[in-house]
Amino acid sequence: MIAIIDFGSQYTQLIARRVRECRVYSEIFSCHTDAETISRLKPEGIVLSGGPASVYRVDHRRYRSLFCLGVPVLGICYGMQLAAQIYGGRVKRSSTREYGPAIIRTHASPLFYGLPGSIRVWMSHGDTVMKAPERSRIIARTETTPVAGFQRGNFYGIQFHPEVKHTEGGKKMIENFLTLICHARKNWTMSKFIHDTVQEIKIQAGDGKILCAISGGVDSTVAATLTARAVGKNLIGVFVDNGLLRHNEKGEVKNIISRFVRVRIVDARQQFIKKLANVKNPERKRKIIGREFIRVFEREADKIQGIKYLVQGTLYPDVIESGMGIGPSDTIKTHHNVGGLPSRMRLKVIEPLRMLFKDEVRKLGKKLGIPKSFIERKPFPGPGLAVRIVGPVTPQRLEILRQADRILLEEAAKLKHYHAIWQIFTVLLPLGSVGVMGDQRTYDSVIAIRAVESEDGMTADWVRLPREFLAAVSRRITNEVKGINRVVLDITSKPPATIEWE
């Protein structure tokens, strides 16, 4: 097992993902976790993540014991700076910050085994190690950063981020650390995850009955199927029609989900729309939706004797962006099923996928026997169309967006590279736009098209859609959807934007 210490970096989960891709099990721990707790788990190595703080502004003495556990340690960005400070080096605010690509020159080190001496990497730091600690050896440098990496005993520090795809050979570096330095065992697989998780659910739930929140998406379906392996007929799925669904979503869910789990469909459209009336703030929307979902589930639970647990398809990116992560992460946006949950709940929550990424969930789904056609569906947010309407949610605006989204997906399904698009959807903007239709002036709403490619949803780039496709979508939306007279394209990556607008 590799212990990853989270200092609040948005990339921490990518480190865990890269380690798992190498078939080595990893767990993430808060930087507030004491070394004794880590030691009891007998890790084969430790990785220190990046983070937003400056090491010379924190009491770094509390972390000294992490370097005394007798196992190799890899420090990334902030993790390297922390080690430099602890070992007597010097770290300070650099005059030239590095954000983005850089070229490092490497020196002999098992960390760079099999890689060229010049490597393009991804930097993201404002502080710099100005002086390496005594008894250490510099293993990497750039034109502006003389200490871009150093080794001291069984500590290896690098200023750049090998976990992001922009670093050439980054995965190879991580694999080198795992195999050549830590001698870690490659024994973590989806089969093992299924076995361990099923056993955990059996122990937690016992003979009790469990409700499972079904959204119709991949995450909740995989969570339900996995839980069903543990409790069988004691699992009851609940699909809530909250009025915020895509075109014909309810019918598709009923046809697909019923193959795996018995499911109840609850009509709560009026309840949700009423609660969202005149609400503009996206954080309030998400929290209202999360609260109302729980109220529906609790009402359904009251109808069935013995219900104590609620299964959700929460993923780790949801936790991180909600500011509910393991380390001191910032809140990007509250996910309705994490930070949107009420503080008091009668049902205990089971989240079997909480530590997985989207791509891992898809692999898990295939392993569980869920059809490929369903596993590869485009992600749809739990709060539904409410967070794709910027501004107040009304029945009229919902129908406008629903029809525009239907048209976009109909046309997108014809694209040759449709399967490679991570997400493609429409957003209704709170703007009025002057137009001309039938020789008459109009003043209607604006629809934005958003399409991104990604591996795990943590970072994303916008898709270069064909002109002919965009022209066809724009023409159909403005002609077929009453209330829209302008269509625009979002060409922003994540970061700086998020995938969803709200």
26-74: per-residue pLDDT in tens? 988 988 888 999 999 999 999 999 888 887 777 777 888 999 999 999 9
Catalytic residues: 77, 161, 163
Q: If you search the block for the tokens 């976990």, which residue do you land on? A: 163
Which 8-state DSSP code applies to residue 68?
A: G
Question: How much is the pLDDT for 335?
Answer: 41
Q: If you search the block for the tokens 């898990």, which residue do you land on? A: 364
Is the bond preceding 352 in cis, omega lying within 30 degrees of 0? no
Rounded Cα distance, 48 and 42, in Å: 16
User: 223 CB contacts (<8 Å, ≥6 apart)?
Assistant: 212, 311, 312, 313, 351, 352, 353
Question: How much is the pLDDT for 326?
Answer: 55
Nearest alpha carbon to residue 107 among 81, 136, 139 = 139
Q: Do the beta carbons of residue 133 and residue 169 sit within 8 Å?
A: no
- Report how many helices (DSSP H) and strands (DSSP E) the chain contains, helices first: 14, 18
pTM summary value: 0.70
Residues of the chain with CATH 3.40.50.620: 190-375
Pair of tokens at residue 231: 């409790």
- 292, containing H or E segment: helix 282-302
Which 8-state DSSP code applies to residue 460?
A: B
Question: How much is the pLDDT for 95?
Answer: 65
Q: Which residues pair with 100 in a beta bridge?
A: 123
* Exposure class string for 372-390: b at 16+ Cβ within 10 A, else e: eebbeebbbbbbbbbbbbb
Q: Report which residue type is found at 238.
A: V
Rounded Cα distance, 500 and 490, in Å: 11
Rounded Cα distance, 489 and 128, in Å: 39
- What fold, for 2-181? Rossmann fold (3.40.50)
User: 66 CB contacts (<8 Å, ≥6 apart)?
Assistant: 5, 35, 38, 46, 48, 73
CATH for 393-489? 3.30.300.10
How many Cβ atoms sit within 10 Å of the Cβ of residue 190?
Answer: 16
Question: How much is the pLDDT for 166?
Answer: 85
Burial (CB < 10 A; 0-12, 13-18, 19+), residue 247, is middle
Question: How much is the pLDDT for 333?
Answer: 42
The low-confidence residues of the chain, meaning pLDDT below 70, are: 95-99, 125, 216, 317, 319-345
Rounded Cα distance, 435 and 216, in Å: 37
Q: Do the beta carbons of residue 336 and residue 382 sit within 8 Å?
A: yes
Rounded Cα distance, 381 and 404, in Å: 17
Question: How much is the pLDDT for 337?
Answer: 43
Phi, psi (degrees; rounded to nearest 5) at 63: -100, 0
Question: How much is the pLDDT for 376?
Answer: 78
Rounded Cα distance, 474 and 79, in Å: 48
Question: How much is the pLDDT for 250?
Answer: 84
Question: How much is the pLDDT for 205?
Answer: 86
Question: How much is the pLDDT for 440?
Answer: 80
Pair of tokens at residue 29: 């721990």
Which CATH class, in words, describes the domain spanning 190-375? Answer: alpha beta
Compute, in degrees rounded to 10, the torsion defined by CA atoms 451, 457, 458, 460.
Answer: -20
Question: How much is the pLDDT for 96?
Answer: 62
Rounded Cα distance, 157 and 80, in Å: 4
Pair of tokens at residue 51: 């983070």
Q: Do the beta carbons of residue 290 and residue 340 sit within 8 Å?
A: yes
Q: Do the beta carbons of residue 240 and residue 296 sit within 8 Å?
A: yes
Residues of the chain with CATH 3.40.50.880: 2-181
Q: Do the beta carbons of residue 476 and residue 470 sit within 8 Å?
A: no
Rounded Cα distance, 89 and 312, in Å: 46
Question: How much is the pLDDT for 331?
Answer: 44
Which 8-state DSSP code applies to residue 419?
A: G
Question: How much is the pLDDT for 294?
Answer: 84
Rounded Cα distance, 207 and 479, in Å: 56
Nearest alpha carbon to residue 337 among 280, 1, 345, 71 = 345
Residues of the chain with CATH 3.30.300.10: 393-489
Question: How much is the pLDDT for 10?
Answer: 77
Rounded Cα distance, 167 and 302, in Å: 52
HSE-up (13 A, CA, CB side) for residue 314: 26
Compute, in degrees rounded to 10, the torsion defined by CA atoms 89, 92, 98, 102.
Answer: -20
